[in-house]
Structure 1
Amino acid sequence: MTAIWFAQALLPDGWASGVRVRINGGRIGTVETDTVPEAGDERFATGLPGLPNLHSHAFQRLMAGLAETRLGPESDDFWSWRDLMYRIAGQISPEDVAAIAAMAYAEMLEAGFTRVGEFHYLHHQPDGRPYDNPAEMAAAIAAAAQETGIALTLLPVFYAHAGFGGMAPDKRQQRFICNLDRYATLREASREVIAPLPGAVLGMAPHSLRAVTPDELPALLTLAPEGPIHIHIAEQAKEVEECLSWSGQRPVEWLLDHHDASPRWCLIHATHVDQAELANIAASGAVVGLCPVTEANLGDGIFPAAGFMAAGGTFGIGSDSNVRIDAAEELRWLEYGQRLSRQQRTVLAKPDRSNGRMLFDAALAGGGKALGATPALEAGAPADIVALAPDPVGPGDYALDRWIFGNGRIDSVWRNGCRMVSQGRHCQRDAIERRFAAVAGKLAV
């Protein structure tokens, strides 16, 4: 049994001092408060539960920094960025995906994420033919999770069409495309490849309303009577315009009108929503998955988080394109986007409340709900723990505010009771970096 002592730690009922956490078999055995360190205790300043990263496309980590030259003749936007993404997605093998995902997952652990929701749609060979093992690419994702130690919620993506109303897929999308029968086989094979991973969860992801027809969506849902359901929705203004042209309704409006978007659902981005849609998402209990760094990088827009929070909405955060992997930065830019759009400060915090604490608590609860597992520093929970480096400013919420908005740092991270990050570096970083560099070196952009 391992014992870790924290000068302070954030427990389910708030901050406590002199916290000793005993780990046994990958889980938290006991949590004691108001203690002093004992001989043999590992000693740290501030303990936190690990954060869930509810939305990742691991293979896109390879693109970081490669899309910062203007890609369009007159303007550059999500759709021109997508052209580059398609070119890169068409080149990589399962072995490449394992190396790229390992780099992304190691960086996630270093950033304080202990579980990732992998929105996985790169399924087939470059010409669109299935691999002999239909879950070959999912197995590469699982191998990366096993190597790095991160907890995995795998979200196999159903992607059948290029646009609203069942538009025929683009040739560049052929690695993604499934019909219902192929997808059912893929999903069951994916269940098998993640089964050996501690704490793994299998969900489902209709890619978007562009990629699935009204007839296909209910058929998909019968394949997943339980577990998380994630969908991209209303990310781009163009998407809203095309949905209105197709159906007469906005994307979120259409989804909520045609399906019971219960707390199992996670609506990724939902950037372009009106007040009625905000209120209806909040009332449904669905989680909104926000990825502020990627949304800024792609020029998506700013989600109206203040109105959503006022309506009682639930959100989590994700690293999406993995252009930069930093949990604190996702939370910081969530708040900063509201400040820039409203020209105010501390927009999301309640009066006399710490902004960092509010952001952290909300992302922990919402992300856990969206990924089927909520971390907590309590007996019986998986030992998924983050230790912040010592900070001289003050106790409690100040530590979160300094980490998110200042110069706070992560010292160590435990996942399933194993210390995977020490002094800010993943224990396998050097080997993972070498493999990633080899893949990047052969890339033809």
Structure 2
Amino acid sequence: MQTIWAEQALVGDRWAEAVSVVVDDSGRIASVTEHASPAGVRVGVLLPAPVNLHSHAFQRAMAGLTERRGPSGRDSFWTWRQLMYRFLDALTPEHAEAIAAFVQMEMLEAGYAAVAEFHYLHHRPDGAPYDDLGEMSARMAAAAAQSGIGLTLLPVLYEQAGCAGDRLGPGQVRFGNDLDRFATLLGRADELVGALGADASVGVAPHSLRAVSRPSLAAAVALADGRPVHMHIAEQVAEVDEVTAAYGKRPVEWLLANHDVDQTWCLVHCTQMTADETAGLARSGAVAGLCPITESSLGDGIFNGVDYLARGGRFGVGSDSNIRIALSEELRTLEYTQRLQYRGRNLLVTDGRSTGRSLFDAAVAGGAQSVQRQSGRIAPGCWADLLVLDTTAVDLEGRRGDSLLDSFIFAGDDRLVGELWSAGRHVVRGGRHIHRDAIVGRYRRTLHGLRDLL
């Protein structure tokens, strides 16, 4: 049993004083007591820690390598993707594990307690499966075992190179599976992730309307059988145009009309939606998986955040390309894109709360929903996914209540994260991951090896 005592804690929908949280040996919160005497680990501000709902771990090692224009003189998401495919050809399972452990460590230090890994790197560079079909899934699980992050692995179904059903080409063949092999892979992922512990889980990720056929999408949803379903959708204008030409409807419009999209779904990006699609997605109860740093980096567009929240829509945030692992910056960028779009301030505010509080609450609730994780609240029975802000930091001096979150998101950065527990695992202490030296050392060796190969 662990006891954490906080001067202030966000308990339910309000701030509470002198809060004692007891965590049992399973990693769940056993009790929450207000106005308690100090005992155990003593902290200033205790918060529920969110889920990073969308990550491609291997792309962390690409950060900073794609900031030059291509030979055409104009760069876009599509030219970035070609560079990503070339990078993929050099990655071994050992590389993938080291990169994943490093990026998971960064996520924990940034304030995320768990991650949904949208995992599509399955096979050898030539597309041939490894001797163990789940080799790359095993590497993601091994990384999580070292980092201590709460892992939801989302094996990706990727079967075609576009809506016309074209065969996968160079760079994509490592992703490819037919339905039978995907079902086998999903079963293997269940075995591997199940060994991590009770807070680890598996969902299903049909990559996109471009990359799976209509029958295969329906089959993948059936395979999920109520587990989380995550899917890229409506990220780029060219994607929307291709789907519209092939399906007769825009991506979100078609999906909502042809599938029972509900609270088990997470639709990632949605940066190209009409007003009707925005309203429909909000009504569905699904989570919009927003990745504002990556969406800015790739020039995707701006999510219809103001309209979506006004209609009761739910969202969470993810680091996607992992060019930056920064919880506070994801939330800040989300609000700032709305300010640029609408030329106003404090736009994503709900229920009379401050902007920082509104963003944080929504991201915590939406992230937990997106992976069906029993977290997102400091309450008995929930996983002890807990985040501590360092109240000795100058940016938090004299702050209380909502202003703590406003200062964290808009004036500070992730250096304000002091402690973090993931399902009771105390993996960040004094702002530093407990295995940082070993994880960073292995990652450095991996980068040197990749540099030689590239």
Q: TM-score, normalised by structure 2?
A: 0.96
CA separation in 1, counterparts of 2:350 and 2:271?
23
Partner deviation per Cα, 1:86-110 (whole Å, 9 max, x = no partner): 1111111111111000000000000
Asked if the contact 2:353/2:402 (under 8 Å) is kept, the reply is no
Partner deviation per Cα, 1:115-140 (whole Å, 9 max, x = no partner): 10000000001111111111100000
344-353 vs 139-148, greater mean Cα deviation: 344-353
**Secondary structure of the residue that 2:362 maps to in structure 1?**
helix
- What residue in structure 2 maps to residue 176 of structure 1? 175
**Secondary structure of the residue that 2:224 maps to in structure 1?**
coil
Which residue identity does 2:114 align to in structure 1? Answer: R
5 Å-filtered alignment, 1:102-251, equals: 102-198=101-197, 199-251=199-251
**Secondary structure of the residue that 1:227 maps to in structure 2?**
coil
Following TM superposition, by how much is the alpha carbon of 1:375 offset from its aligned partner in structure 2, in angstroms?
Answer: 2.8
- What residue in structure 2 maps to residue 394 of structure 1? 399
Partner deviation per Cα, 1:124-180 (whole Å, 9 max, x = no partner): 011111111111000000001110000011100000011113122112211000001
Aligned length: 443
Pairing 1:327–2:349 present? no
Partner deviation per Cα, 1:21-60 (whole Å, 9 max, x = no partner): 112202222111012314xx21111000111100000010
Distance 1:430 1:275, change over 3 A: same
Following TM superposition, by how much is the alpha carbon of 1:72 offset from its aligned partner in structure 2, in angstroms?
Answer: 4.5
Following TM superposition, by how much is the alpha carbon of 1:384 offset from its aligned partner in structure 2, in angstroms?
Answer: 1.4
CA separation in 1, counterparts of 2:141 and 2:125?
20
Asked if the contact 1:112/1:327 (under 8 Å) is kept, the reply is yes
CA separation in 2, counterparts of 1:6 and 1:246?
55
> Which of 405, 410, 414 lines up with 1:405 in the alignment?
410
372-381 vs 187-196, greater mean Cα deviation: 372-381
CA separation in 1, counterparts of 2:351 and 2:19?
29
Asked if the contact 1:72/1:80 (under 8 Å) is kept, the reply is no
CA separation in 1, counterparts of 2:352 and 2:367?
25
CA separation in 2, counterparts of 1:73 and 1:13?
52
Asked if the contact 2:387/2:420 (under 8 Å) is kept, the reply is yes
Q: Which ranges in structure 2 are unaligned for 5 or more consecutive residues?
A: none
**Secondary structure of the residue that 2:18 maps to in structure 1?**
strand
CA separation in 2, counterparts of 1:42 and 1:3?
6
**Secondary structure of the residue that 2:378 maps to in structure 1?**
coil
CA separation in 2, counterparts of 1:364 and 1:56?
16
CA separation in 1, counterparts of 2:378 and 2:440?
31
CA separation in 2, counterparts of 1:160 and 1:227?
21
Which residue identity does 2:117 align to in structure 1? Answer: E
5 Å-filtered alignment, 1:33-44, equals: 33-38=34-39, 41-44=40-43
Partner deviation per Cα, 1:245-277 (whole Å, 9 max, x = no partner): 212211111111111111111110010000000
CA separation in 2, counterparts of 1:162 and 1:258?
22
**Secondary structure of the residue that 1:215 maps to in structure 2?**
helix
72-81 vs 336-345, greater mean Cα deviation: 72-81
Following TM superposition, by how much is the alpha carbon of 1:235 offset from its aligned partner in structure 2, in angstroms?
Answer: 0.3
CA separation in 2, counterparts of 1:352 and 1:14?
12
Pairing 1:66–2:73 present? no
Asked if the contact 2:85/2:170 (under 8 Å) is kept, the reply is no
Which residue identity does 1:143 align to in structure 2? Answer: A
Asked if the contact 1:20/1:35 (under 8 Å) is kept, the reply is yes
- What residue in structure 2 maps to residue 431 of structure 1? 438
175-184 vs 412-421, greater mean Cα deviation: 412-421
Distance 1:351 1:32, change over 3 A: closer
CA separation in 2, counterparts of 1:68 and 1:437?
21
- What residue in structure 2 maps to residue 22 of structure 1? 22
Following TM superposition, by how much is the alpha carbon of 1:418 offset from its aligned partner in structure 2, in angstroms?
Answer: 2.3
Which residue identity does 1:189 align to in structure 2? Answer: R
Following TM superposition, by how much is the alpha carbon of 1:219 offset from its aligned partner in structure 2, in angstroms?
Answer: 1.7
Q: Which ranges in structure 1 are unaligned for 5 or more consecutive residues?
A: none
- What residue in structure 2 maps to residue 375 of structure 1? 376
Which residue identity does 2:35 align to in structure 1? Answer: D
Distance 1:259 1:72, change over 3 A: farther
CA separation in 1, counterparts of 2:185 and 2:417?
37
Following TM superposition, by how much is the alpha carbon of 1:242 offset from its aligned partner in structure 2, in angstroms?
Answer: 1.1
Q: TM-score, normalised by structure 1?
A: 0.97
CA separation in 2, counterparts of 1:73 and 1:110?
39
- What residue in structure 2 maps to residue 83 of structure 1? 82
**Secondary structure of the residue that 1:123 maps to in structure 2?**
coil
Asked if the contact 2:69/2:75 (under 8 Å) is kept, the reply is yes
391-400 vs 148-157, greater mean Cα deviation: 391-400
- What residue in structure 2 maps to residue 279 of structure 1? 279
CA RMSD of aligned residues (A): 1.2
**Secondary structure of the residue that 1:222 maps to in structure 2?**
helix
Which residue identity does 2:431 align to in structure 1? Answer: G
Pairing 1:304–2:311 present? no
Following TM superposition, by how much is the alpha carbon of 1:351 offset from its aligned partner in structure 2, in angstroms?
Answer: 7.4
**Secondary structure of the residue that 1:223 maps to in structure 2?**
helix
